[in-house]
Amino acid sequence: MATTEVLLPLMGEGVNEATVSSWLVQVGDRVQKDAPLLEVSTDKVDTEIPAPADGFLIQASVKEGDTVEVNQVLGIIADDRDESVRQSTGGQQAQAVTSSPTPSNVTASSNPAAATSADQSNIKSSPLVRKIAQEQGIDLAQVVGTGLHGRITKKDVLAHQEQQSAPAAVPTQKSSTPVPAAVPADTAMAHPGLSTSTDDQGREYLEGVEVQRQPMSRMRCLIADHMVESVRTSPHVTTVFEMDMHKVVRMREAYKDRFFKEEGFKLTYTPFLIHAAVEAVKKFPIVNSSLDGYDLLLKKDINIGCAVALDGGLIVPVIKKAGELSLLGIARRLNDLVVRARSKKLKPDEVQGGTFSITNPGGYGSLTSNPIINQPQVAILGVGTIVKRPVVVDDMIAIRPQMMASLTFDHRVIDGEVGAKYLAAMKEALENYDTPPL
């Protein structure tokens, strides 16, 4: 009987582990080579692990919520269905044996305090959490994890730090409103000072209004942490320009049918905007930098991160070396990334290494936006919808397709003059566009 191990592949530079989000097949199921087996999450992206061979999944070596390292065995595939039954039976028997604790260990294993003495190498947490704990001098064995299967999250570490530094509580007059016995650490951290109450039927209230508590998804939590950290790090300033898009609109209309016939996907305005944004970056490379203390890190490559909306959040895949691509090259790369982002086929290194980001809420009708910088970058471009409106052209009123574009930048690095000059360069590129997409 031939068997094949399912290993966690290399998840990108600097990404050495991932968390198992869910198994997509059950032990004993037939699987096909390259079909998705399970879904894993890193601090950057959710992705599916494909089956390395045809056969039957005879063993799932890890559970949902487990943290696994690169090249760790996730499961085993065999070409014999009967072997899956034997493995499943054997696994259940082994589990029955290992799940029966000795009487001397029952109390200790069920006591949260006893778990704090565990070896930190076995504590479920991400590299980011361990880094924060190390920097703050926090012993993770003393932190109560509220994540899936007891996984310690960033919020747990921050909540633990706050509890350690908080002064002793001063007795206050008892409220006539019932108060819950305990407030989850992650909720208290997400909303400092926010308290709710419950009635005799267990219903929860906030300021007298009944609420239904719903934990955020892991992606939403990561977005929340990243956005708060960005605002805390960078002084945000936004400048807005209006741009005449009539040449871009005319060119797209002239080429869109031929483009779809030859390329197999629609030509949108986004590649034009990215191409013009890259040309402006070349003129003002300071927007393509990062700040390390008081040192500027000027990037040699222009890697454009493009925000893509997903169910329950968004992700920012990166067009690498966009400065070397034509308009057609950008369109192809963007379409590939967007399609795979929405089908969870992105690789972790495809959401890393961005040097400048673009978000396009205009696709949903937004006129303009004030986006938050994607750290450690220093600027982000927001583009609005294209709307026909009357404008003055050569002292005459004309109807032109207009678009608002905003640049939000880190004022530690970029002054208002440079931010305005960047948008002026992009405006000039779009209003004088003469590069066919084919």
Residue 115: what pLDDT? 39
**10 Å Cβ neighbour count for 405?**
24
pLDDT of residue 274: 96
Instruction: Residue 81: name the closest of 23, 32, 28 by CA.
Output: 28
Q: How far apart are CA 218 and CA 224, in angstroms?
A: 10
Residue 280 CA: distances (Å) to CA of 180, 283, 289: 55, 5, 14
CB 365 within 8 A of CB 383: no
Cα diameter, the chain = 91
- 68: β partners: 18
H or E stretch at 178: none
Report the pLDDT value the prediction gives residue 364, as an integer from 0 to 100.
86
CA dihedral 94, 99, 103, 104 (to 10 degrees): 90
Class of domain 3-93: mainly beta
42 or 423, which is more confident?
A: 423
Instruction: Give CA–CA dist 371/52, Å, rounded.
Output: 41
Asked if the model's pLDDT at residue 223 lies above 50, the reply is yes
Backbone angle region of 394, left / alpha / beta, with phi > 0 → left and psi within -120 to 50 → alpha: left
Task: Quote the CA–CA distance of 231 and 220 in Å, as a whole number.
Answer: 17
Structure tokens at 432: 């004088």
How far apart (Å, rounded) are the C-alpha atoms in residues 152 and 170?
29
Q: Which has the closest alpha carbon to 307: 230, 371, 243?
A: 371
Residues 393-405 pLDDT 10s: 999 999 999 999 9
Helix (H, G, I), strand (E, B) or coil at 241: strand
pTM (2 d.p.): 0.63
Residues 6+ apart with CB under 8 A from 356: 277, 281, 287, 288, 302, 303, 304, 305, 377, 379, 380, 381
At residue 4, φ and ψ (nearest 5 deg) are: -135, 130
* C-beta pairs of 153-157 under 8 Å, 24+ apart in sequence: 153/125, 153/126, 153/129, 153/186, 153/221, 154/126, 154/128, 154/129, 154/225, 155/185, 155/186, 155/189, 155/190, 155/221, 155/225, 156/129, 156/185, 156/186, 156/189, 157/129, 157/132, 157/133
- Give me the pLDDT at residue 94, please: 39
| Helical residues (DSSP H) of 350-395, grouped into ranges | none
pLDDT at 293 over 70: yes
pLDDT at 105: 39
Nearest alpha carbon to residue 361 among 343, 379, 381, 375: 381
pLDDT tens sequence across 78-90: 887 665 445 544 4
Residue, of 363 and 299, whose pLDDT is higher: 299
Q: What is the mean pLDDT of residues 25-51?
A: 83
C-alpha dihedral, 422 to 419 to 250 to 337, nearest 10°: 90
Domain ranges across the chain:
3-93, 112-165+179-192, 235-431
DSSP classification of residue 9? P
Cα–Cα distances (Å) from 57 to 166, 230, 414, 430, in that order, read 50, 43, 54, 54
What is the secondary structure of 44-81 as a DSSP string? S-EEEEEPSSSEEEEEE-S-TT-EEETT-EEEEEES-H
362: left (phi over 0), alpha (psi -120 to 50) or beta: alpha
pLDDT of 174-191, one tens digit each? 333 343 333 334 433 444
Average pLDDT over residues 360-383: 91
One of 3.40.50.280, 3.30.70.360, 3.30.559.10, 3.40.50.880 is the CATH number of 235-431, namely: 3.30.559.10
The catalytic site residues sit at: 411, 415
pLDDT of residue 167: 53
pLDDT score of 114: 37
Q: What does the alpha-carbon distance between residue 315 and residue 222 come to, in Å, rounded to a whole number? A: 11
Residue 413: helix, strand or coil by DSSP? coil
Q: Which fold has domain 112-165+179-192?
A: Dihydrolipoamide Transferase (4.10.320)
